[in-house]
Amino acid sequence: MTPAAVTTARTSAAFIAASWLALLMGMAGFVLGLWNATMALNEKGYYFTVLMFGLFAAISLQKTVRDRLERIPVTGLYYGLAWFATLLPILLLLVGLWNATLTLSEKGFYGMAFLLALFGAIAVQKNTRDTRPTSSGLPTTNE
Residue 74 is assigned to a structural domain of this protein: yes
Is 142 in contact with 8 (CB distance < 8 Å)? yes
pLDDT in tens, 43-64: 999 999 999 999 999 999 999 9
Best CA proximity match to 53, nearest among 88, 95, 99: 88
Residue 63 is assigned to a structural domain of this protein: yes
Low-confidence residues of the chain, pLDDT below 70?
1-9, 133-143
Return the DSSP state at 136. Answer: T
pLDDT score of 118: 97
Residue 140 is assigned to a structural domain of this protein: no
Q: Which domain holds residue 58?
A: 13-128
Overall domain count for the chain? 1
pLDDT score of 143: 45
pLDDT score of 9: 65
Residue 98 is assigned to a structural domain of this protein: yes
pLDDT score of 4: 52
pLDDT score of 140: 54
Is 72 in contact with 3 (CB distance < 8 Å)? yes
Other Cβ atoms closer than 10 A to 89:
22
Residue 8 is assigned to a structural domain of this protein: no
Residue 138 is assigned to a structural domain of this protein: no
